[in-house]
Amino acid sequence: MSDLDFHAHVATRRDVLGTGAGSTPGAWDTALGTDCLDDPGDGVLRRDYGLLEVLFSDTGDSGDTGGTDGSMTCFGIMVQVHRLVHGPCTPPLLVSRYGTFAPRVRFEDLRSAVLALGHTVEPDDLSGDIHRYRVPESGTRIHVIADPDPYGDGDHDTGDPDIHQAGDVWSLDVSPFWRGR
């Protein structure tokens, strides 16, 4: 399996190592380990694993508003692909399953991998510096860099493989709210 397989899996299956929406923070600990940063808020928890951010909300089952004892469940997964150009940020359990992650993911490669899994990719919003595509069968959003120099500074080197380029995947966003839309 490869890192591209991982991204295609998330885009089509909406989970990471079998853990997805509705899972507790403890389930994510089991799947990815505990090397993460928890950023609690009012009834919400953002868990940052580097490449991944997982969002949890208070289920109201225990009156807890920010704990990680199982009274919270996952409502969103963000694969922050853009972080890979800055160096290793992939949880070790993902590396052991999928191998080394490349610093950039080309949208056309991801689209081909998603199509090979029997899914489709449709444009969702092609305005602005980041274009958004949707996998209709899963509702996953794929954000793609359209303009790597959105402020027009002119210092973007289109030949440098170590920086973001037009056509690179910026992120994948999975939310149960998007399913079927």
CA distance 53 to 77: 6
Give, as one character, the DSSP assignment of residue 58: E
Enclosing H/E stretch for 167: none
Q: Quick one: pLDDT at residue 110?
A: 98
Is the Cβ–Cβ distance between 121 and 111 less than 8 Å?
Answer: yes
pLDDT tens digit sequence for 98-125: 999 999 999 999 999 999 999 999 999 9
Q: Quick one: pLDDT band at residue 35, thresholds 50, 70, 90? A: very high
Q: Quick one: pLDDT at residue 158?
A: 74
What share of residues in the chain are helix, strand, coil (percent, to 5)?
Answer: 25, 30, 50
Q: Quick one: pLDDT at residue 161?
A: 72
Q: Quick one: pLDDT at residue 75?
A: 94
**Better-predicted residue by pLDDT, 161 or 86:** 86
Q: What's the mean pLDDT in 14-27?
A: 95
Please give the backbone phi and psi of residue 58, each rounded to the nearest 5 degrees, phi first.
-70, 130
pLDDT tens digit sequence for 130-173: 999 999 999 999 999 998 877 777 777 777 777 888 999 999 99
pLDDT tens digit sequence for 50-82: 999 999 999 865 444 444 454 899 999 999 999
Long-range interactions of 35-38: CB distance < 8 A, separation 24+: 35/91, 35/92, 36/91, 38/68
Orientation angle between helical segments 3-13 and 107-116, nearest 10 degrees? 60
**Closest among 7, 152, 131 to 77, alpha carbons compared:** 7
